[in-house]
Structure 1
């Protein structure tokens, strides 16, 4: 079975993990610190704070944005952790509809949702294709709102030549097993706000003022620290960070391969009238090409057909505001409610072979040839 996603790892990652295991320091320490510094340089921000998941990153970014008791404008077209993080902060998600082509939040509909309780706008760069950030930032400035970028899909992607995660007040990244940069699991918060970064570092480690590595840098271990607010056990460990450093060094190469596969799919599938393909807008200087989502009214039939051919597929995503937990936050999102029923994610990962791309393409063509023949017969 060709999977939808597969992590791309090699001997460098294995050796990096072995080095940490041999060092005797497995927790959050020198590798985590090095990964944060390298990642901040890559994204183009002053600070990067490593955590153990993108969910943790979103939770802490929203907490630092002081959204508690207020409303956060968000998208229903995302993994549930995006909006769970709003609930973790005792805030109210306000769902905004999406663009039918990009599946990103429809920026033109955001202003009508802003009121006196609005504290932030949370955007998801779906599939690694950038949200149109300039008009969104103008709105945020006018109404004095924070902007949080959920860049879980967007590592290495760009908007008008700026890296995703460097544009809003906070960027939140995922290093889950199937993401463009994978540590097995992990996350990162990026920001240019030094005070926010300082608070984030405390919040990720139980509210403690200095982590264990920081207290071990003098000739004598300093056990003393302060605890000034309720924090969480969200820190990254050096095993994950060591993998992350290697993955970061290979990220642009792997993203170029994702781009190549995306081009092959789009060139070879564009002639199928019943199929909608990913759209790249002019402001999407360089997408991260995290996934390849097609649209067809025969979504479920096609999925079953491809399964029979040994090709896995998935659906990204079921609208969050249709889950029972979010029903009382229901909002009119007719585009999202209509289009999700047509979405199908087909395999895309750097190690996908050209022969496998050919097989997937020919299988999709075969499905629609058979479907047309059956409907005309």
Structure 2
């Protein structure tokens, strides 16, 4: 591998793509005097529902909160089970365990790293309350195939944290299951600094989700200011829950980001294509599946698989190139106790390395990454 040139500009693994439009949007909210959940949050909910092809969205402060509310809507609790793929961030399974239910981990497809449908179906029991597929890296999970395999009796809650701007069979991710939970964390495809949303294909569950996001109170503060009664502090508390609201500062950023989302994802797609072309003649690098006519990734991640993954990570760092691992199989964490061996997830994740992926990455940056990976694997 070439000697590191420490004068080269570091290449970040992720980086938010923000401009003056976001600064202006936040300034307007600050000047308005209304910073909490309010008119900007309502506007973002309407716009995001329209983009996702959903009947409604409920904006919250993180995807983890969205997943927790999704569990509450199903009354998931002690003795219940929810099937979760082993390749995901711990937030997915924590949302189940937090409600004292048991996440039942299933293996993944060796190509896409999405949930293995047959393995998931084999783990269904009388205690199963829901299936929780993840659109790993932005690659759409074939939710329609999952539905055909498991039937109509079990709810499907989509973890769409990586899939903002992914499309499956001409429809944006967010309306294929019973609900879909999105994430707008600092380095996601659409950032709000942090935030999340639950998309619903119908009216079912929407009103209760709105109550659950704010301590079980049946009217939020912004809604109460619009009541004709002067006694606007009167409300009822219908559930015991926590505070999960999005605020208008985050929503203002998200509204601007949503307008840019398709363009930002197009740039991600171009980077993915450049990477894949650059590794085409390197048999030591397994690249992720590319888009197909019916499946378009958001390309939140570009995760290759290589032998000597850890050594490659260190070598890239020496050349000023960040990389990461998404993820250690979640069933191997000690907090989940003893779990069965899931051979595909364990084998593939041991070779998995995420390369830099964000809209601000230049062609020269991508070529530097390609050259460094190819040089390492040739040595």
Give the TM-score of the pair, scaled to structure 2.
0.95
Q: 1:363 and 2:366 equivalent?
A: no
Indicate how the Cα distance of structure 1 residues 216 and 314 shifts in structure 2: closer, same or farther if over 3 A, else same.
Answer: same
1:8 is displaced (CA, Å) by 0.3
Q: 1:240 and 2:245 equivalent?
A: no
Aligned residue in 2 for 1:71: 81
1:272 is displaced (CA, Å) by 0.7
Q: 1:149 and 2:158 equivalent?
A: yes
1:192 is displaced (CA, Å) by 2.3
1:182 is displaced (CA, Å) by 0.2
Query: Which one of the candidate residues 17, 21, 24 is aligned to 1:12?
Result: 21
C-alpha offsets along residues 63-95 of structure 1, whole Å, 9 cap, x if unaligned?
A: 112222311111110110000000112211111
CA contact (8 A) 1:148 1:171 kept: yes
> SS in structure 1 opposite 2:192?
coil
Q: 1:352 and 2:361 equivalent?
A: yes
1:299 is displaced (CA, Å) by 0.6
Query: Which one of the candidate residues 230, 237, 241 is aligned to 1:231?
Result: 241
Give the root-mean-square deviation of aligned CA atoms. 1.3
Aligned residue in 2 for 1:30: 39
* Cα distance in 2, alignment partners of residues 357 and 306 from structure 1: 13
Aligned residue in 2 for 1:374: none
1:284 is displaced (CA, Å) by 4.9
Indicate how the Cα distance of structure 1 residues 157 and 314 shifts in structure 2: closer, same or farther if over 3 A, else same.
Answer: same
Aligned residue in 2 for 1:194: 203
* Cα distance in 2, alignment partners of residues 101 and 307 from structure 1: 27
Indicate how the Cα distance of structure 1 residues 259 and 297 shifts in structure 2: closer, same or farther if over 3 A, else same.
Answer: same
* Cα distance in 1, alignment partners of residues 166 and 190 from structure 2: 12
* Cα distance in 2, alignment partners of residues 60 and 140 from structure 1: 23
How is 1:1-377 mapped onto 2 (pairs within 5 angstroms)? 1-68=10-77, 69-142=79-152, 144-218=153-227, 220=230, 222-280=232-290, 282=292, 284-328=294-338, 330-369=339-378, 371=379
> SS in structure 2 opposite 1:110?
helix
CA contact (8 A) 1:208 1:231 kept: no
* Cα distance in 2, alignment partners of residues 201 and 193 from structure 1: 14
More helix by share: 1
* Cα distance in 2, alignment partners of residues 203 and 140 from structure 1: 29
Structure 1 residue runs of 4 or more that deviate by more than 6 Å after TM superposition: none
Give the TM-score of the pair, scaled to structure 1.
0.95
1:339 is displaced (CA, Å) by 1.2
* Cα distance in 2, alignment partners of residues 245 and 281 from structure 1: 27
1:281 is displaced (CA, Å) by 6.3
